[in-house]
Amino acid sequence: MKRTTVRRAGVVALALTSLMGVGATAQADAQRLANCGDGASFCLFEHDDYAGARQDFLFTGPSGGCANAGPLNNKASSMRNPSGRRIQFYNSANCAGSYGYAAAPRSSDSDLTNNNFDNLTSSVKSVNP
Ligand SMILES: [Ca+2]
Ligand SMILES: [Ca+2]
């Protein structure tokens, strides 16, 4: 009898933990994809964890638009891509040469160091995934 009660309590606790886990994940997803400027397709941040100066980009029209990093040239350390397109990162201005890193649609990265692209981005291009 006693053993059964203990097991039931364990199951309830597990179910509660799962529910909380799902809620927290959904909230984190919404948070990391928000917080570019209103309607921006993509944004770069000066520091890790979406901190420091922010540069917004609006890519309209056909795929393949390129934009220079502006004030964040060689400074970007994290990024958010709420758009449905892939964003390619270039070490040179005007998307010259080959890209060094590509962000998946609807993704974010709190630290570009592990992509070997910290403080290197000079231009970005929006392409169809
Ligand atoms: Ca930086
Ligand atoms: Ca560069």
pLDDT, one tens digit per residue, over 37-92 is 888 999 999 999 999 999 999 998 778 899 999 999 999 999 999 999 999 999 99
End-to-end CA distance of the chain: 58
Indicate the pLDDT class of residue 31, thresholds 50, 70 and 90. Answer: low
Q: What is the CATH number of domain 34-127?
A: 2.60.20.10
pLDDT value at position 62? 79
Q: Where are the domains of the chain?
A: 34-127
Closest CA to 67 of 122, 106, 119: 122
Mean pLDDT, residues 90-118 taken together: 96
Ligand 2 geometric centre to CA of 95 (Å): 10
Ligand nearest to the CA of 123: 2
Ligand nearest to the CA of 111: 1
Ligand nearest to the CA of 52: 1
pLDDT value at position 23? 52
What span, in angstroms and rounded, lies between the C-alpha atoms of 33 and 25? 12
What span, in angstroms and rounded, lies between the C-alpha atoms of 68 and 122? 6
**Proportion of the chain above pLDDT 70, given as a percent:** 73
Q: Which residue has the higher pLDDT, 43 or 28?
A: 43
Burial label for 36, CB within 10 Å (0-12, 13-18, 19+), is buried
